[in-house]
């Protein structure tokens, strides 16, 4: 643990607040939000301070503060997305008016800051340099917290990897700790999310208009990029030279490659003693990373809370903002201000989809009975393993006409629960559906699919999804995952495919559905059906995938009336 040098916290009451009012755009946006606590203090603003990075580069930093005399804790927010909308009102203005100094800093090489941008290599050193700068501020009283979503979560874990003694609390929303897993998790290239995030990191810090224009270009070009043979030249042309860092990241799929050395900050949670609040959504692209952070912190004996809502990565900061802000504010007040009055009594709170209720839990995952649902011929899904000699289903996947992605954990506005009926009508998608439930069935915890399958080329993706089918036949996705099948031609492979975390109630009269296909394009780069990296493939080969007896969907049942009529 790093120790402060020549720093003794003193009272900040002698500091005279000055500065200007926060940006007008931030004040106007803040005025439109509902469900937030009343302002406690007027807010002052110091714009574009120059804070030295670890290499001496000047990092542009804004300071928001209560415009009154007194001691207030400090929140450090480090972002590659600029310091304007929405970060200025959401983190600078809102927290300052609740009684915090907020230091909002542009990462190296972004938002006017000096030095060169790199996806991950500078964050730990630059975060510690920011803390050293804080120690020399007359208004800094030695109480430090961090807050922020997505990559702003990564910059928090970067500081926690070598936590200074002043760091007393963290609040990580839909947070990242492993960029490699975000891009290549499960052995597949997460193409759409990678390109969307690349556009955000390349353009968002340059202002709303430039970011919107770049996002629109990607939306227009995404189909062409994902459908090109090979894909890499198409995305390089579309993204331009300034996104060369993303091209490097996408073309290094192996986590053991020296290129990724030091990227995964999951180990920062091991042994951490900084109280940490975690917020995610069940349809967030980084939900698995948040749940992994929670498990490591619990194993380390660290004080931790978890809030998991019905959100995507984007909607957690929109529809879920009021809940998320209240969660963070209560946590930071408890651990930085000594006021635990607003903390909830349980460690974990989750939203149960299908029932639209919140449930408080002692821990994650809760105790559950594993429930196996077996694929059977005729598209049936049953509680007993079928005694059949041959295949239960077979379908042909053609990379020239790849199975499209529908909803799920995406960064785009197409994310989240969606009607899957049009997708399931395709010949390259098979479904197994249970009988109508006589009583509700509730599954809370980890969902897994055990797939016994073969492929005539020996190489393919296996995309699996859990859906809830209502009385009208509408099939809505709950959670999903992708596995990679690599074997000798026609060899039977047993894949355990994680579908991630779920908290969902299947109502009486609904049916449980298991969906299987050869991909979800362009969310995942299509598998060409041949050897070699998909991004480099010059052509594809159709593959016939056969699903065999013994394939089962494993549900963590916490409340079951699992009989069917």
The string of pLDDT tens digits covering residues 507-555 is 999 999 999 999 999 999 999 988 878 888 888 999 999 999 999 999 9
Quick one: average pLDDT of 386-391? 86
7 has pLDDT over 80: no
Say if residues 509 and 515 touch (Cβ distance below 8 Å). Answer: no
Strand 167-175 vs strand 144-150: parallel, antiparallel, or unpaired? parallel
Q: Which residue, among 55, 93, 59, has the nearest Cα to 78 in the 3D structure? A: 59
Q: Compute how many other C-beta atoms are within 10 angstroms of the C-beta atom of residue 230.
A: 16
Distance between first and last Cα of the chain: 60
What confidence category does residue 34 fall into, taking pLDDT thresholds of 50, 70 and 90? confident
Helix (H) or strand (E) holding 289: helix 287-299
Span 135-151, pLDDT tens digits: 999 999 999 999 999 99
Q: Which residue, among 549, 562, 561, 372, has the nearest Cα to 448 in the 3D structure? A: 372
> What is the model's pLDDT at position 275?
98
214 has pLDDT over 90: no
Share of the chain above pLDDT 90, in %: 76
Span 248-262, pLDDT tens digits: 898 899 999 999 999
> What is the model's pLDDT at position 3?
46
SS (H, E, C) 73-101: CEEEEEECCCCCCCHHHHHHHHHHCCCCE
Beta carbons within 8 Å of 334's beta carbon, 6+ residues apart: 169, 275, 340, 342, 343
Q: pTM for this one?
A: 0.93
Distance of CA 9 to the CA centre of its chain: 36
What's the full length of the chain, in residues?
565
> Average pLDDT over the chain, rounded to whole?
92
* Helices within 484-564 (DSSP H only): none
As beta bridge partners, residue 454 has 546
46-50, 191-195, 467-471: segment of lowest average pLDDT? 191-195
11-20, 345-354, 361-370: segment of lowest average pLDDT? 11-20
As beta bridge partners, residue 51 has 59
Greater confidence (470 vs 230) lies with 470
Residue 195 to residue 200: CA distance in whole angstroms: 9
- φ and ψ of 255, to 5 deg: -65, -20
What confidence category does residue 15 fall into, taking pLDDT thresholds of 50, 70 and 90? low
3-state class (DSSP) for residue 360: strand
Residue 275 to residue 346: CA distance in whole angstroms: 15
> What is the model's pLDDT at position 536?
85
Give the chain's count of helices (H) and strands (E).
Answer: 13, 21
Span 305-359, pLDDT tens digits: 999 999 999 999 999 999 999 999 999 999 999 999 999 999 999 999 999 999 9
Say if residues 189 and 524 touch (Cβ distance below 8 Å). Answer: yes
Span 494-511, pLDDT tens digits: 999 999 999 999 999 999
6 has pLDDT over 50: no
What confidence category does residue 13 fall into, taking pLDDT thresholds of 50, 70 and 90? low
> What is the model's pLDDT at position 423?
98
> What is the model's pLDDT at position 203?
83
562 has pLDDT over 50: no
What confidence category does residue 199 fall into, taking pLDDT thresholds of 50, 70 and 90? confident
Span 394-424, pLDDT tens digits: 999 999 999 999 999 999 889 999 999 999 9
Domains of the chain and any CATH numbers? 24-178+264-344 (3.40.50.1820), 182-259 (no CATH), 369-560 (2.60.120.260)
108-112, 220-224, 243-247: segment of lowest average pLDDT? 243-247
Long-range contacts of 30-38 (CB under 8 A, 24+ apart): 30/89, 30/93, 30/94, 33/321, 33/322, 34/322, 35/322, 36/94, 36/322, 36/325, 37/98, 37/326, 37/329
> What is the model's pLDDT at position 12?
55
Beta carbons within 8 Å of 190's beta carbon, 6+ residues apart: 182, 183, 184, 285, 523, 524, 525
Quick one: average pLDDT of 177-204? 91
Beta carbons within 8 Å of 165's beta carbon, 6+ residues apart: 1, 2, 3, 4
As beta bridge partners, residue 512 has 468
Residue 387 tokens, joined: 């005694």
Residue 401 tokens, joined: 């006409």
Residue 235 tokens, joined: 């995305």
């Amino acid at each position: 643990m790093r120790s402060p040098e020549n720093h003794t916290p003193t009272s900040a009451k002698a500091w005279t607040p000055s500065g200007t009012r926060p940006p007008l755009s931030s004040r106007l946006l803040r005025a439109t939000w509902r469900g937030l606590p009343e302002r406690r203090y007027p807010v002052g603003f110091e714009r574009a301070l120059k804070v030295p990075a670890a290499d001496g580069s000047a990092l542009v930093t804004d300071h928001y503060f209560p415009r009154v005399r007194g001691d207030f804790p400090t929140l450090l927010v480090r972002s590659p997305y600029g310091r304007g909308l929405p970060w200025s009102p959401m983190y600078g203005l809102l927290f300052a008016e609740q009684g915090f100094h907020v230091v909002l800093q542009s990462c190296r090489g972004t938002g006017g800051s000096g030095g060169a941008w790199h996806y991950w290599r500078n964050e730990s050193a630059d975060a510690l340099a920011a803390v050293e700068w804080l120690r020399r501020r007359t208004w800094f009283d030695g109480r430090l917290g961090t807050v922020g979503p997505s990559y702003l979560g990564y910059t928090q874990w970067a500081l926690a990897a070598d936590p200074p003694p002043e760091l007393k609390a963290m609040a990580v929303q839909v947070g990242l700790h492993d960029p490699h897993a975000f891009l290549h998790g499960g052995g597949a290239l997460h193409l759409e999310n990678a390109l969307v995030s690349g556009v955000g990191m390349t353009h968002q810090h340059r202002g709303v208009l430039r970011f919107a224009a770049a996002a629109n270009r990607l939306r227009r070009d995404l189909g062409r990029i994902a459908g090109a043979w090979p894909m890499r030249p198409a995305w390089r042309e579309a993204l331009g030279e300034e996104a060369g860092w993303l091209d490097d990241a996408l073309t290094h799929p192996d986590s053991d490659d020296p290129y990724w050395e030091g990227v995964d900050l999951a180990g920062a949670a091991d042994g951490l003693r900084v109280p940490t609040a975690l917020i995610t959504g069940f349809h967030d692209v980084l939900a698995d990373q948040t749940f992994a952070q929670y498990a490591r912190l619990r194993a380390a004996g660290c004080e931790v809370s978890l809030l998991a809502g019905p959100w995507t990565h984007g909607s957690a900061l929109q529809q879920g903002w009021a809940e998320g802000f209240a969660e963070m504010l209560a946590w930071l007040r408890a651990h930085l201000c000594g006021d635990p009055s607003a903390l909830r009594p349980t460690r974990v709170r989750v939203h149960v989809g299908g029932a639209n209720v919140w449930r408080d839990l002692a821990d994650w995952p809760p105790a559950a009975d594993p429930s196996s649902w077996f694929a059977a011929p005729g598209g049936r899904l049953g509680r007993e393993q079928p005694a059949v000699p041959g295949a239960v289903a077979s379908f042909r996947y053609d990379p020239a006409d790849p199975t499209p992605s529908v909803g799920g954990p995406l960064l785009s506005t197409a994310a989240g629960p969606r009607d899957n009926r049009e997708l399931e009508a395709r010949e390259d998608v098979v479904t197994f559906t249970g009988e109508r439930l006589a009583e509700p069935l509730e599954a809370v915890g980890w969902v897994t699919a055990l797939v016994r399958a073969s492929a005539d080329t020996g190489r393919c993706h296996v995309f699996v999804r859990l859906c809830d089918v209502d009385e009208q036949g509408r099939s809505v996705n709950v959670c999903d995952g992708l596995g990679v099948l690599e074997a000798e031609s026609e060899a039977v492979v047993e894949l355990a495919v994680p579908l991630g975390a779920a908290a969902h109630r299947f109502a009486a009269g609904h049916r449980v559905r298991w969906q299987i296909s050869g991909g979800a394009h362009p969310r995942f780069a299509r598998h060409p059906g041949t050897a070699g990296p998909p991004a480099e493939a010059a052509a594809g080969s159709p593959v016939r995938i056969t699903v065999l007896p013994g394939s089962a969907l494993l549900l963590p049942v916490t409340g079951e009336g699992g009989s069917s009529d």
